[in-house]
Amino acid sequence: MPYNSLLPNDLDSYWLPFTDNRWFKKNPRMLIEAKGMYYKNINHDLILDGVAGLWAVNAGHCRKKIVSAVQKQVAQMDYALAFQMSHPKAFELANKLTALMPGDLNHVFYTNSGSESVDTALKIALAFHQSKGNNNRNIFIGRERGYHGSGFGGTSVGGITNNRKQFSSLLKNITHLPHTHLPEKNSFSKGQPKFGSEKAEELDHLVELHGASNIAAVIVEPVAGSTGVLVPPIGYLEKLRKICDKNNILLIFDEVITGFGRLGYSFASERFQVIPDMITMAKGLTNATVPMGAVGVKSDIYKTIYDNNPENIELFHGYTYSGHPLACAAAIATLEVYEEESLFEKAKSMEIFFQEAAHSLAHLDVVIDIRNIGMVAGIELRERDYNSMTMARDVFEECFKNGLLVRYTGNTIAISPPLIATELEIEKVFSILTKSIKNICK
Ligand SMILES: Cc1ncc(COP(=O)(O)O)c(C=O)c1O
């Protein structure tokens, strides 16, 4: 059957998320197959995946082991109730995850997405403080340019103006740290930038202003992805940890992007040697095969909430699909693939090659900054005089035409390929990107 007969004849009914629907529907980009490093579009052209789907398909697409695990599971047991019941794979996965997590993050709460993981972590923070009798600790501190998903909690602690401005009533009791992006000092940094750790000291000011006894938690992405790959300055995360410790404020790392090998380690917290009190995760957890998220929780938090409710449900929170059997099967198989193929170590050993390939674009006139760490890079383009935010979007479209999938956010092109990428594939990513930038930014 020719694929065109599969084209929907009406594109109007589906409202795409985070998309200019008019723009998309004028020239829809449809994907129909995926394998390893490649997608196929509706014309059967191969599209090299430069962003691991949405920073998620870390082991590459349609991995046999993961696909078979899901197929086997769906045939054996499609669903098991999540409340007051469970199934063995949910525990097996939790044990595997606690072995991967740093420090005494020894407990796992399952969700279905990064957004749900963030909202869950925020609620756990409140429940923890309440269990200790600290009901006033209810202020959350996010960071400018942070992205924490699209739930009410995540949008509120998030610091992306466009994501907030349509919604007039977000959570109250939220404040934000300044972002750490200092292009005038740090542009074209390789790895962690030198300048800007003092931005963490703003937390001291916020504590002074609001009172430590009113603050529940600080939430940051160790490396901010969605606002254009902002790598933490050297010493920055360490300072945040210190100030949180001094004031008994919980520190949450949102590792939805940075988890599962993106930075060459299980989690960014391991790479930066800074252990948070909770880690939110999703995406690479199941290689994006089945939606799933999770929150890693420190023993002290779990135990405090648990002990405070000896005769009742200790946490009134959860989802119908928490620990869904298909998601658990996918996640267990995914973690096995990561381990069998040493994909985190592979990412680590590829980092310098990837970095140099990314920075090879520095000679392009229109490129005003390149930032990278692990297997993620942001290439920022100069704004146009007209229609300022369309340059990166045009480059994204041109890349797709030329057989490469990239991500754009504002004026930044983000690259984060599956961790199975070879040197040749990395070179191909950056050479198609270079050609596409040249075509668009003549
Ligand atoms: C750091 C971070 N947190 C949360 C989310 C939200 O995840 P989801 O889209 O699965 O809800 C994302 C998504 O990109 C993210 O990058």
Structure confidence by residue, pLDDT tens digits, 335-359: 999 999 999 999 999 999 999 999 9
CA–CA gap between residue 92 and residue 88 (Å, rounded):
6
**C-beta separation of 207 from 177 below 8 A:** no
How many other CB atoms are there within 10 angstroms of residue 35's CB atom? 13
**C-beta separation of 381 from 366 below 8 A:** yes
**Are 327 and 355 part of one and the same domain?**
no
CA–CA gap between residue 185 and residue 195 (Å, rounded):
7
pTM over 0.95: yes
**Are 82 and 95 part of one and the same domain?**
yes
**Are 325 and 192 part of one and the same domain?**
yes
Residue 319: strand, helix, or coil: coil
Please indicate, yes or no, if residue 11 is contained in any of the structural domains. Answer: no
Q: Give pLDDT tens digits for 365-395.
A: 999 999 999 999 999 999 887 766 688 999 9
For the purposes of burial, counting CB atoms within 10 Å of the CB of 330, is it exposed (0-12), middle (13-18) or buried (19 or more)? buried
Question: What value does the mean pLDDT of the chain take?
Answer: 96
Q: What is the pLDDT of residue 442?
A: 78
**C-beta separation of 287 from 63 below 8 A:** yes
**Atom 13, ligand 1: which residue's CA is nearest?**
149
Q: Which residue has the higher pLDDT, 267 or 385?
A: 267
Backbone φ and ψ for 232, nearest 5 degrees, come out as: -70, 135
In CATH, what number is assigned to the domain containing residue 158? 3.40.640.10
- What are the structure tokens assigned to 357, written together? 């390939």
Task: Tell me: pLDDT of 278 over 50.
Answer: yes
Measured in whole angstroms, how far is the alpha carbon of residue 320 from the centre of its chain? Answer: 23
**Are 88 and 118 part of one and the same domain?**
yes
Per the structure, the complete domain to which residue 350 belongs is given by: 21-59+342-440
CA–CA gap between residue 55 and residue 107 (Å, rounded):
25
Residues with CB under 6 A from ligand 1: 113-115, 118, 147-149, 221, 225-226, 254, 256-257, 282
The DSSP code for 390 is G
**Are 207 and 329 part of one and the same domain?**
yes
Task: Quickly state the pLDDT bin for 4 (edges 50, 70, 90).
Answer: low
Query: Which atom in ligand 1 lies closest to the alpha carbon of residue 154?
Result: 4
Which of 306, 340, 374 is the last residue before a domain boundary?
340
Q: What is the pLDDT of residue 389?
A: 65
In CATH, what number is assigned to the domain containing residue 401? 3.90.1150.10
Question: Among candidates 39, 13, 47, 12, which has minimal Cα distance to 26?
Answer: 12
Q: Tokens 């002990």 identify what position?
A: 307
**Are 307 and 394 part of one and the same domain?**
no
Query: Which atom in ligand 1 lies closest to the alpha carbon of residue 151?
Result: 11
**Are 81 and 138 part of one and the same domain?**
yes
Please indicate, yes or no, if residue 9 is contained in any of the structural domains. Answer: no
**Are 201 and 293 part of one and the same domain?**
yes
How big is the chain by its Cα radius of gyration, in Å?
Answer: 22
Share of residues in the chain with pLDDT > 70 (%):
97
- What are the structure tokens assigned to 152, written together? 């009410």
Residue 319 alpha carbon to ligand 1 centre in Å: 17
Residue 113 alpha carbon to ligand 1 centre in Å: 7
**Are 25 and 101 part of one and the same domain?**
no
- Mean pLDDT calculated for residue range 246-266: 98
How many distinct structural domains can be found in the chain?
2
Residue to probe by mutation, ligand 1, list 19, 51, 147, 150, most atoms within 8 Å of CB? 147
Residue to probe by mutation, ligand 1, list 51, 257, 269, most atoms within 8 Å of CB? 257
CA–CA gap between residue 157 and residue 74 (Å, rounded):
36
Question: Among candidates 371, 372, 369, 388, which has minimal Cα distance to 380?
Answer: 369
Please indicate, yes or no, if residue 230 is contained in any of the structural domains. Answer: yes
